[in-house]
Amino acid sequence: MNEKAILTCALNGVLTDPKQHHVPVTPEECAASAREAYNEGAAIIHIHFRRQEPHIGHLPSWEPEVAADICDAIREACPGIIINQTTGTVGADISGPLSCIRRVKPEIAAANAGSLNYLKIRKDGSWAWPPMLFDNPVEKVGQFLDVMNETGARPEFECFDTGIVRSVAMYVANGMAETAQYNFVMGVASGMPADMRLLEILPDYLVPGSRWQTTLIGRAEIWPVHRRAAELGGMLRTGLEDTFYLPDGERAADNGELIAALAAIARDVGREVASPDEARVMLGLGIRD
């Protein structure tokens, strides 16, 4: 029997504007959206924290109490759910996300494992936004890993390119992290494409025995890649952070619809969906009180 699939719901993201897209912002909205995903099989909720004041919910928040209110509401709505907290910041000041990790104590925290020129080009050749460096030098990665180790959060290494994938083994060899759990981020225009052929290659460069998943950014074209990830034994992730579109090209109404589509793919390739408690055992996280 194939191993059960662990499903992650990427609840809201950092770039999705609630004035344009139906993404949750408040603790109540986040809890309700997480519950929809939980009901369809999500064992993990990946969460970005947003400013709570009116009309600025598109901006990130690193207020520890905002983070705690959101995570507490999700945990109450979804018994046993695993929290995966974002940490992505541009620049050297990472005091905000570190404070949130210490306050929330997530089971998993994103560890952006290398730098990327974050680019997108329009059809006319102009930049879709000013070219930006998403800076993650080794010193910054190490600061995050130290606090994750301090709080017991499992680092999930976010890998935007193949060289970043290969760097993770060096972090482990250097003693910066004890274990490696990988997230292949595919579909950013200046990073790895959402191409299933990469999934045949990348596992050869992982720390032996490590778990991996894909974050697939795009429209209907990402769903065959999800299927291939399911066939190859990966963890599976989707949500309104990553896409607004279902496999048939129709726009998703909510996170629950996206997770339902992902669960259907897992079952179609012969993998049942892991409950949160089963996922905790599989990942070695332990049962939360």
- Contact status, residue 188 vs residue 214, Cβ threshold 8 Å: no
CB 282 within 8 A of CB 273: no
pLDDT in tens, 61-101: 999 999 999 999 999 999 999 999 999 999 999 999 999 99
| Residue-wise pLDDT tens digits, 207-236 | 999 999 999 999 999 999 999 999 999 999
**281: enclosing H helix or E strand:** helix 276-283
Map residue 14 onto helix, strand or coil: coil
Distances (CA, A) of 60 to 31, 37, 70: 18, 22, 13
Tell me the CATH number of domain 7-283, given options 3.40.50.2000, 3.20.20.70, 3.90.220.20, 3.40.630.30. 3.20.20.70
Q: What pLDDT is recorded for position 203?
A: 95
> Where exactly are the structural domains of the chain?
7-283
Please give the pLDDT value at position 289.
Answer: 59
d(CA 81, CA 34): 9
Residue-wise pLDDT for 122-138, tens only, equals 999 999 999 999 999 99
Instruction: State residue 21's pLDDT score.
Output: 85
Q: Is the pLDDT of residue 160 over 70?
A: yes
For 14-61, the pLDDT digits (tens) are 878 888 888 999 999 999 999 999 999 999 999 999 999 998 999 999
With left for phi above 0 and alpha for psi between -120 and 50, is residue 244 left, alpha or beta?
alpha
